[in-house]
Structure formats: C-alpha cells, structure tokens
Amino acid sequence: MSDHEIEIRHLEGAISRAVEAGFDRQISTLAELVKIPSQRGEETAAQAYMASMYRERGFDVDEWLIDLDQNRHLPGFSPVAVSYDNCRNVVGTHRARNRSGRSLILNGHIDVVPVGPRAQWTTDPYGAEVIDGWMYGRGAGDMKSGLLACVAAIDALASVGLQPAGDVFLQSVVEEECTGNGALACLARGYKAHAAFIPEPLLPKLMRAQVGPMWFQVHVAGDPQHASAAFSGAGANAIEKAIYLIGRLQELERRWNARKVEHRHFCDHPHPIRFNLGKIAGGDWPSSVPAWCTFDMRVAVYPGQSLAAARVEIESFIAEASHDDPFLRHHAPRVEYHGFMAEGYVLTNSEDVEASLGRAHSAVFGEPLTEYATSAATDARFFGLYADTPAIVYGPECKMPHGYDEAVNLESLKQVTKTLALFVADWCGVEQR
C-alpha cells in the first residue's frame, strides 16, 4: 500500500462523517433544484441556480451560450432541429494551489425529459416529495441528484479542512437527453482533465459499456380524399402507411439484436437494441384521408458500429419495405436525422481511475466494485472517444427515469456521495484549504 493510499485510508472515517453531517443540507438543495423545471429550452433558471452554488464555494464560474456553428464540425456532434437561443452551459472550477494532484472533470446534466400527463403522477412532478426514503420528481434521479452529489463531495472535503490537490471542473451541461452537444461544447471550450466522473443514476456499479443512440424521423406522404371514398380504392392513408412501416421496422430491430453475439459486452444483455417509437403525428381533418404522417424513433448502435453504415441500413430497409407497398413504392418516405447521432462507448485504458473508484466503493459498501453494460447512453462517450480521457459512470439508484413517479433512493445517494468524496480525495489527492 502506497503512502498516498495510507493517507486516504486515514481520512475515510472523517470524510464519511462529513457527508453524513451535510446530507440534510444536500437533500434540501436537491429539493430546491428539482422544483425548478429544466426541460429542453427551459434550463436557464436551473443553470443560474448551479452558477450561484459554484460562486458561493469560491469556484471560478464560466457561463456561455452554445454556438452550434463553432461545434458542428466536431466529432460527436448531433444534428439539431430546435433553437439554441437559451442553450447555456455552466462550469465551476476548483483551482488547486500547487496542482500536485491529478485533475478531474465532474460532469452532470441539468436538462430533464418532459413529465407527460401530470394526472398520471402520484406526486407533483416538480414537488420533490420524500416518501419512504425516496425523493420523487422529474430529474430527482436523472440526474440532479448526481449533479449535486459532485458539489456535496467537495463540500465534505472542505468541512474537514481539505480540498482536492488537482484542478476539478464541475460541469453542469444541457442537451444530454437529446444530443450530448452540451458536453461536446465543454470539450470545444478547452476543458480537459486526467479523468472524468459522471454520477448518472445507473446504480453504484461501474459502467463498462454503453450503446450509442440515434434519432430519426420518417416523413410519410398520403393521397388525401374525402373520408367517404377511403374504402373505394381512392386515396392512401398516410397514418396507416406509417403504421405499416413501423411494424416492418421490428424486423430490423430483431436483426440488430441478433448481432449482440459479436459484441462481448452485450452478448448476455437480453435486448440491447430497441427501436423505440417515441412520437407520431399525422392528418389534418377527421373527414379527410390523411395526407401526411411523421413518426420519430430512437434506435441505438453497438460500440464500434459505424453510424454511417447504420443510417444506410435504416434507409435501405425503409426503401425495401416501401417497395412492397403499392402506394409507397411510388411515394418514397423521407428519413431525417434530428437529434442523437452518438457512437457507443467502452471504458478502456482506465486501470488507475478504476482502481481509485474500486477503493472508494469498497470502503463505503464493504464489497468489491462490480460492472455492467447498459442499453442506455451517457455523455461519457465524449471524454473517452474524443478527448482520450477515461470516463467513469457510477451513480445512485433511481426508479422510473423518464417515467411517471421518477424517484431517487436517498440512502443510495448518501452512499454514492461518500464514494464520490473518497474517490476525489484518492484520485486528486488532498491539500489543506
């Protein structure tokens, strides 16, 4: 055991007790943040909250609007079809005095997905109610709890008179839920470190591999007629044609899932690739055969799978399916990409950072760190694929992310915060404040 490890072992109890002592404040802060809606395009108030928290702790604060024209040429950029007028990132930087330790990025996203019909929630989706050890609310788990755990970890060190001996960049980014362009903008702005840590709510385990999501939209044309002629052979119902294509795409989904045997991190996953029909709209008038329909899908690619090849396969399949339909054969649907265009990611070349996390996890949980692969995605890919930076994903337990009654387990959050604080101390080293 090195002198450094001995020093950290000596601090374990004090840091753990500091997290315990500050946990009520951490939960109160989380409740305040959950109560601030931050869906796509509404993140400004929540980002102002994060900036104020960083300033209160004496961090250097950097706030900026994302400029698409500066970033669209970068690897990892995803196409967008929405306004970026208020799309703002916030980074708080802790500067070590002598920079004797390793640097670290603590990254989390402030954006959340829509809540859906509020009547379906048991609690107010922005109420941050605590029931039986769970805090409920959109973003409580995914991922405002993890975002604030980063702050709480630094607070715990400060409460025992310590601070990281390496620079730490606390990033609150937008766009994780639809493109990842927020994390990419941090890279473009020059933020680099020896490692990155993302406390996504995917359980306190090491995420080894993740898929790469892709969004696409299919535009289907119809032949509008009066509804009375719909069954006389006249017209073509665009909504029905879209439903036909959606059904056929299930065949492509089966093909892609069958390829999991070629990917060792996903070969035991029950269903790594899902063609999710996320949105559909069409028609203009109940008494008219619909002239148009669009549907949006989220699919995913395996690590190492070519995005260009995946697009070609999707478009070719839709063209083949259309050829089998008498109307679509002469009225080809159009495919558009309007969001995620992400590569899959596998954590590699990360022995040192994994060892630090392993020591911290074992100290808190009393058992070895385990790992898994996920059919979801995180911003880790940007650091690992485009910045030569190993990116750890490890976070608290969350139930129903993106669903009704999303909630984070508070005991899990406390334990993860302890692990994160010990990890920061181990990875960066510590110095007196």
Higher pLDDT, 100 or 230: 100
For 372-382, write each residue's pLDDT tens digit: 999 999 999 99
* Rounded average pLDDT over 317-323: 98
Whether 175 is catalytic is no
Whether 155 is catalytic is no
Integer Cα distance of 241 and 236 in angstroms: 8
Domains, the chain, in order of start with CATH, read 3-210+345-432 (3.40.630.10), 212-336 (3.30.70.360)
Q: Do residues 147 and 172 lie in contact, with contact meaning Cβ atoms separated by under 8 Å?
A: yes
Model pTM? 0.96
Active-site hit among 12, 142, 155, 176: 176
Q: Give the pLDDT of residue 228.
A: 83
| Residue 145 DSSP code | I
How many residues can be counted in the chain? 433
Higher pLDDT, 425 or 9: 425
Q: Do residues 419 and 167 lie in contact, with contact meaning Cβ atoms separated by under 8 Å?
A: no
Q: Do residues 382 and 76 lie in contact, with contact meaning Cβ atoms separated by under 8 Å?
A: yes
- Residue 297 bridge partners (DSSP): 216, 277
Active-site hit among 111, 155, 200, 426: 111
The tokens of 417 are what?
A: 């915060």
Model confidence at 7: pLDDT above 80: no
Model confidence at 96: pLDDT above 90: yes
Model confidence at 9: pLDDT above 90: no
Model confidence at 411: pLDDT above 90: yes
In 338-413 the beta strands, taken as DSSP E runs, fall at: 345-346, 371-374, 391-393, 398-399, 407-409
For 217-256, write each residue's pLDDT tens digit: 999 999 998 888 766 666 799 999 999 999 999 999 999 9
Model confidence at 216: pLDDT above 60: yes
Percent of the chain scoring above 90 in pLDDT: 93
Task: Provide CB contacts within 8 A for 391, sequence distance 6+.
Answer: 107, 195, 196, 197, 198, 345, 347, 379, 380, 381, 382, 383, 384
Sheet holding 292-301, edge to edge: 276-282, 292-301, 212-221, 334-336
Q: Give the pLDDT of residue 232.
A: 62
* Rounded average pLDDT over 32-56: 97
The chain-wide mean pLDDT, for the chain, equals: 96
Integer Cα distance of 130 and 127 in angstroms: 9
Model confidence at 133: pLDDT above 80: yes
Instruction: Write the CA distances from 288 to 220, 328, 411, integer angstroms.
Output: 16, 19, 56
